[in-house]
Amino acid sequence: MNKTLMERVRCVLFHSKLPETLWAEALYTACYLINTSLSTALDFKTPYKVWSGRLADYSKLRVFGCDAYAHTKQGKLEPRALKCAFLGYPDGTKGYKLWCTDLKPLKCIISRDVVFNKSKMLKEQVAAQAKIQKIPRAEISHFEVELIKSEDEQNINFNEENKVTDEGLQEIDKKDR
């Protein structure tokens, strides 16, 4: 399961274009998604349902790394939203964990009042698919390989099926000792 989680984290970070320093947040989000997904090992129940006895809320699911705008109440003349990237779901509180790119220094914030820009993500996916289709396929080149026997290999006896015989293996073992 650890290998599966790390593969999902690499995939998520690659597609989101976020810095690799956020791998822990991506890992937490991948774990959250696995726990709210159906599992064949649990008779098609979610681990969340088995653990807590409640159904998971799928209305809050968002795409990792998508653009988000967290609304703020800093005053009349200040900006009313901060541009962020979606990171995941905070533990123990309602809302979303966001990577705020408007603040200096960059930092994570938790906000309930968030608007997600899903249309930008869709446009990027369509553009990426168009680029993939335009890439020409590489031609497969064929080449020949010539085997050169070393001094050790010349003493090995081969049978008709090109397999090493027991006598040849015993000779190699004697030389190695």
Give the residue among 99, 81, 82 at the shortest CA–CA distance from 90. 99
Burial 112-145 (b: 16+ CB within 10 A, else e): eebebeeeebeeeeeeeeeeeeeeeeeeeeeeee
Q: Which domain holds residue 105?
A: 2-119
Total-model pTM? 0.61
Contact 46, 35 (CB under 8 A): yes
Task: Retrieve residue 74's tokens.
Answer: 């800093």
Q: What is the mean pLDDT of the chain?
A: 75
Treating both helix axes as pointing N-terminal to C-terminal, what angle do 2-16 and 23-35 enclose, rounded to 10 degrees?
Answer: 120
* Residue 27 lies inside a defined structural domain of this protein: yes
Could you tell me how far CA 135 lies from the centroid of its own chain?
23
Please give the average per-residue pLDDT across 85-100, as a whole number: 88
* Residue 131 lies inside a defined structural domain of this protein: no
Of residues 76 and 53, more confidence is placed in 53
Of residues 154 and 32, more confidence is placed in 32
For 14, other C-beta atoms within 10 Å of its C-beta total 11
Number of domains in the chain: 1
Q: Kindly tell me if the per-residue pLDDT of 146 is higher than 60.
A: yes
Q: Kindly tell me if the per-residue pLDDT of 5 is higher than 80.
A: yes
pLDDT computed for residue 141 by the predictor? 56
pLDDT computed for residue 96 by the predictor? 92
pLDDT computed for residue 23 by the predictor? 87
pLDDT computed for residue 94 by the predictor? 86
* Residue 136 lies inside a defined structural domain of this protein: no
pLDDT digits (tens, 9 = 90+) for 113-143: 899 887 766 566 666 666 666 655 555 555 5
pLDDT computed for residue 97 by the predictor? 92
Q: Kindly tell me if the per-residue pLDDT of 167 is higher than 50.
A: yes
**105 prior amide bond cis, ω within 30:** yes
How many residues are present in the chain? 177
Strands (E), 20-162: 67-71, 81-88, 96-100, 107-111, 114-116
pLDDT computed for residue 125 by the predictor? 62
* Residue 170 lies inside a defined structural domain of this protein: no
pLDDT digits (tens, 9 = 90+) for 16-35: 778 888 888 888 888 888 88
Of residues 133 and 110, more confidence is placed in 110
* Residue 152 lies inside a defined structural domain of this protein: no
* Residue 78 lies inside a defined structural domain of this protein: yes
* Residue 8 lies inside a defined structural domain of this protein: yes
Q: Kindly tell me if the per-residue pLDDT of 41 is higher than 50.
A: yes
* Residue 163 lies inside a defined structural domain of this protein: no
